[in-house]
């Protein structure tokens, strides 16, 4: 039927799931101003990073505190001690664990981390440590 009326509506599991699904808009930000603008523009969540031009590294702890305290949108923090690969030295892992503890104290929504072995596999022992 053209032009309205009682057109048949598709039914079934896949149609219902498609209608019910709500997308979450997470925006990567690297400054207080970009966090404020993303929040005011309707972001559901922020991913706070440092130095996005190199793919993102851990942001300043002072920036983390400022954004978490002043912006009402939930904030996840990218934790990465340097740009490049995700194979971290023991010293870099130590820094990451301290950053995770700081983020917990700062009451961030969550942290975004990744770590690989030299063979390219997930560094499960270290990632488990991060989640403890």
Supply the pLDDT for residue 132.
Answer: 85
The one-character DSSP state at 31 is S
Low pLDDT (below 70) residues in the chain? 1-21
Residue 4 Rama label (left phi>0; alpha psi -120 to 50; beta): left
Supply the pLDDT for residue 58.
Answer: 98
Residue 31, token pair as written in the block: 């400054």
Residue 28, token pair as written in the block: 């990567």
CA distance 56 to 1: 53
Supply the pLDDT for residue 37.
Answer: 98
* Pick from 18, 21, 67, 74: nearest CA to 43: 74
- Return the beta strands (E) in 39-119 as ranges: 45-48, 75-78, 110-112
pLDDT, tens only, 90-125? 999 999 999 999 999 999 999 999 999 999 999 999
């Amino acid at each position: 039927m053209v032009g309205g009326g009682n057109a048949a509506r598709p039914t079934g599991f896949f149609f219902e799931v498609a209608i019910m699904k709500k997308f979450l808009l997470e925006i990567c930000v690297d400054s207080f101003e970009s966090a404020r603008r993303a929040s005011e523009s309707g972001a559901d969540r922020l991913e706070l990073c440092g130095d996005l031009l190199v793919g993102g590294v851990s942001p300043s702890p002072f920036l983390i505190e400022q954004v978490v305290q002043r912006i009402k949108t939930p904030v996840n923090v990218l934790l990465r001690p340097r740009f490049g690969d995700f194979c971290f030295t023991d010293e870099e892992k130590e820094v990451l664990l301290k950053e995770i503890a700081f983020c917990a104290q700062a009451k961030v929504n969550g942290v975004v981390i990744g770590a690989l072995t030299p063979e390219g596999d997930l560094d499960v022992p270290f990632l488990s440590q991060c989640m403890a």
